[in-house]
Amino acid sequence: MSRHQRALHRRAMKIGPLDVTKVGVSRFDLRDPYHMALTASWPAFTLAVLVLYTAINVMFATLYAAVPGAIGNARPGSILDGFFFSMETLATVGYGQMYPATTYGHIVSVAEIMSGMAFTAIVTGLIFVRFSRPRAKILYADHIVITPYNGLPTLMVRIGNGRMSMLTNLNVRVSALIREHSSEGHRMRRINELALVRSNVPMFALTMTMMHRIDETSPLYGHTAHSLLDGDVRLFVSVEAQDSAINAMVHDIRAYVARDVRFGMKYSDAVVVDADGRTLADLTRISLIEPDGTEMAGEMPELRAVQ
Helix (H) / strand (E) containing 254: strand 248-257
**Amino acid 27: pLDDT:** 67
What lies within 8 Å, CB to CB, of 292 at 6+ separation is 145, 147, 148, 264, 265, 266
User: 192, 198, 242: which is closest to 218 by C-alpha?
Assistant: 192
**Amino acid 305: pLDDT:** 44
pLDDT above 50 for 9:
no
What is the C-alpha to C-alpha distance for residues 72 and 78, in angstroms, rounded to an integer? 12
Q: Could you report the per-residue pLDDT of 101-126, keeping only the tens digit for each?
A: 999 999 999 999 999 899 999 999 99
> 169 falls in which pLDDT band (50, 70, 90)?
very high
Please indicate whether residue 289 or residue 187 has the higher confidence score (pLDDT). Answer: 289
The full set of domain ranges for the chain reads: 32-132, 138-303
CB 304 within 8 A of CB 224: yes
What lies within 8 Å, CB to CB, of 163 at 6+ separation is 137, 243, 245
Q: Could you report the per-residue pLDDT of 13-57, keeping only the tens digit for each?
A: 555 566 666 676 666 677 888 888 888 889 999 999 999 999 999
- Cα dihedral sign, 89-92-98-102: positive
Q: Could you report the per-residue pLDDT of 148-160, keeping only the tens digit for each?
A: 998 889 999 999 9
pLDDT above 60 for 289:
yes
Instruction: Determine what percent of the chain is predicted with pLDDT higher than 90.
Output: 48
> 300 falls in which pLDDT band (50, 70, 90)?
very low
CB atoms within 10 A of CB 214: 21
What is the C-alpha to C-alpha distance for residues 73 and 13, in angstroms, rounded to an integer? 52
What is the C-alpha to C-alpha distance for residues 12 and 27, in angstroms, rounded to an integer? 8
CB 63 within 8 A of CB 41: no
What is the C-alpha to C-alpha distance for residues 132 and 53, in angstroms, rounded to an integer? 23
Q: What is the CATH number of domain 32-132?
A: 1.10.287.70
Instruction: Determine what percent of the chain is predicted with pLDDT higher than 70.
Output: 87
**Amino acid 95: pLDDT:** 80
Kindly give the pairing relationship between strand 200-204 and strand 167-181: antiparallel
**Amino acid 24: pLDDT:** 67
Q: Could you report the per-residue pLDDT of 190-200, keeping only the tens digit for each?
A: 899 999 999 99
Please indicate whether residue 9 or residue 123 has the higher confidence score (pLDDT). Answer: 123
**Amino acid 19: pLDDT:** 63
CB 159 within 8 A of CB 207: yes
Average pLDDT score over the chain: 85
Q: What is the secondary structure of 162-229 as a DSSP string?
A: -SSSPEEEEEEEEEEEEEEE-TTS-EEEEEEEEPPS--EEEEESSEEEEEEE-STTSTTTT-BHHHHH
What is the C-alpha to C-alpha distance for residues 283 and 261, in angstroms, rounded to an integer? 20
Name the residue type at position 134.
Answer: P
Domain 138-303 has CATH 2.60.40.1400: yes
Q: Could you report the per-residue pLDDT of 214-254, keeping only the tens digit for each?
A: 999 999 988 888 888 888 889 999 999 999 888 889 999 99
pTM for the full model?
0.74
**Amino acid 21: pLDDT:** 67
- Cα dihedral sign, 220-223-228-231: negative
